[in-house]
Structure 1
Amino acid sequence: MMPVVIQGSASPSLSSKLSKEMGWRLVRPEMRRFPDGEIYLRIAAGLKGQEVVVVQSLSPPQNEHLIELLLLLDLCRDLGAKKVTAVVPYLAYARQDRRFREGEALSIKTVAKVLERADRVLVVEPHSKESFSHFRRAREIRVFTLLGRYLGSLDLKNPLFLSPDEGSLQRVKEAAQAAGVEFDCLWKERLSDTKVKVEWRKPEVGGRDVVVLDDIISTGGTVVEACKLLKGARKILACCVHGLFVGDAVHRMRSAGIKEIFSTDTVESSFSRISVVSAIASHL
């Protein structure tokens, strides 16, 4: 019996692409809200004995999307699904993977625990090895080579891929190798939730196109600070897997000198130029 793709409200385009890529039936749950804000969900399609793939990103509003995902996973089980896979294109709370102060919640541990109701979990580029270590039945989907191939297809002049910190250096290396270009790394110190300090030992970029490449762009603070070190660059671009673009992030990056912004469809937006559907399909 052919598996079924269940469309979460945070990933309508990606789930539709996955259904077409795999040749599987797409099911769109009925969803509405009660007057008090609680979610109503119903799946009219029969799922008894079938394999089910639920696609739901945990992008903002993270808490609502997480609750919806949990309801969908349990509902599929209640309807008799034989196997339930959760595809989580963007994993929220992954940056809360360690305790910096006594008494802090280890949020990603809790999220990993509640997602264990799925038979397996597929996550696209989780933020860190530490965050992913809390999952028991999960697989990481790496996609930086896809970013590299896409960026390599653009008409960039003597391009340089720049990692914002050592934590993303290996990922940026993968993208650079796929594109056949040079790469380098900044040094970053986080001062607060919204402020960072960025330094670079080799700020010679005269006439070059520089791509600041990261797994997540949230407030845009890291990209803005990086731009200050890239004086003389012909063009500065920002590219990421998970484009959250919180608040005025896009305006801040544009004002700092970013000419183009690219992201994937793990978080669906007008900047989602790169699809991760082929990478997800290869793990199903």
Structure 2
Amino acid sequence: MIVIGGTSSKKLAQDLAKELDSKYVQAQVSRFPDGECYVRIEEDALDDDVIVVQNTHPDNNLVEMLLIQDAALGLGAKSVTSVVPYFGYSRQDERFNKGEALSAKVMVDIMGLTSTRLASVDVHKPVVLDWFAGKTYNISAAHCIGEFFKDSGIDLVLAPDEGALDRAAAVAEAIHAEFDNLEKTRLSGEVVRMAPKNVDAKDKSVLIVDDIISTGGTIEAAANQLKVLGAKSVIAVCTHGLFAKDALDRLRKCCNAVYSTNTIENEVSVISVAPEIAKVLRD
């Protein structure tokens, strides 16, 4: 197999090539003065199965991925696998209001134009992958996150809500810690208490695990409340670190540390999910 990296997840693409013991090729990408994308793969031929690693968020990354895949096919790639570390638009899996676009299906359909396999990490709504005609993989980052925190002294792993409890449980199992989910209790019209549902956080080192941190409002509120409840320390970690609107700066003020995986490259994306991606792609 040959791994081709786009501009959005270069480090992850390189890690994946090492895990698979495969050749790595960095696609050459530039922009014309009018903003259109230019892609070239500087190889004579690609007579092998090709894996293209590139996010679909923001929109320009989607166009780049499609052009990289077409360039690979033009050089004779036997097949193309789309590895989309962060699958943008996956949250719009139905028409919530009349006249809306079914965004997730559109993205999945587009992926099927140039690839026969689709792999992504912690897709917000995994059901959207069912629209893909070929083989799909929704890869969990929990094991990689658990390995990263194995010797960090974490006592309690928390999910931000009950729906994310399975992720917290998987991380907790890897580091032999308790787990629970946060629960909101409205004390008045303006005051909301956020605390672990079943476990006391007092004097414990707490790890909050989420799939996506965008504006960070939920994590910020939870960290502040956990400190009030007597938590010894609070660390936040997520699979996809979008960190919009200065979220990372705000979270650093209320958390002892903030980390993310390398599905989206940023200054705290120190946890590689390449080992888990490689496991499924070897099949």
Does TM-score exceed 0.5, indicating one fold?
yes
Matches within 5 A, 1:95-244: 95-116=91-112, 117-137=114-134, 138-156=136-154, 159-187=155-183, 199-200=194-195, 201-202=197-198, 204-230=200-226, 231=228, 232-244=230-242
Give the letter aligned to residue 182 of structure 1. E
Cα-to-partner distance string for 1:78-137 (whole Å, 9 max, x where unaligned): 222111111111111112223332222221111000001201111111112333333332
**Identity in percent:** 39
- 8 Å CA contact 1:237, 1:260 repeated in 2: yes
Give the letter aligned to residue 102 of structure 1. K
1:85 to 56, 81, 86: 81
Which whole-Å CA distance do the structure 1 matches of 2:172 and 2:266 have between them? 24
CA shift in 2, pair 1:173/1:203, >3 Å:
closer
Query: Any gaps of 5 or more consecutive residues in structure 1?
Result: 190-196
- 8 Å CA contact 1:203, 1:229 repeated in 2: no
Which whole-Å CA distance do the structure 2 matches of 1:85 and 1:198 have between them? 45
CA shift in 2, pair 1:102/1:203, >3 Å:
farther
Which whole-Å CA distance do the structure 2 matches of 1:49 and 1:97 have between them? 36
TM-score by length of 2: 0.89
- 8 Å CA contact 1:143, 1:279 repeated in 2: yes
Partner of 1:21: 19
Give the letter aligned to residue 66 of structure 1. L
Which whole-Å CA distance do the structure 2 matches of 1:11 and 1:115 have between them? 17
Partner of 1:194: none
Which whole-Å CA distance do the structure 2 matches of 1:127 and 1:254 have between them? 25
Query: What is the Cα-based RMSD across aligned positions, in Å?
Result: 1.9
Partner of 1:263: 260
CA shift in 2, pair 1:23/1:145, >3 Å:
closer
Query: Any gaps of 5 or more consecutive residues in structure 2?
Result: 186-191
Aligned length: 270
Give the letter aligned to residue 96 of structure 2. F
Partner of 2:50: 52
Shift of 1:48: 4.4
- 8 Å CA contact 1:4, 1:25 repeated in 2: yes
Shift of 1:199: 3.7
Shift of 1:198: 6.9
Deviates more, 1:93-102 or 1:81-90: 93-102
Matched residue SS, 1:245: coil
CA shift in 2, pair 1:188/1:108, >3 Å:
farther
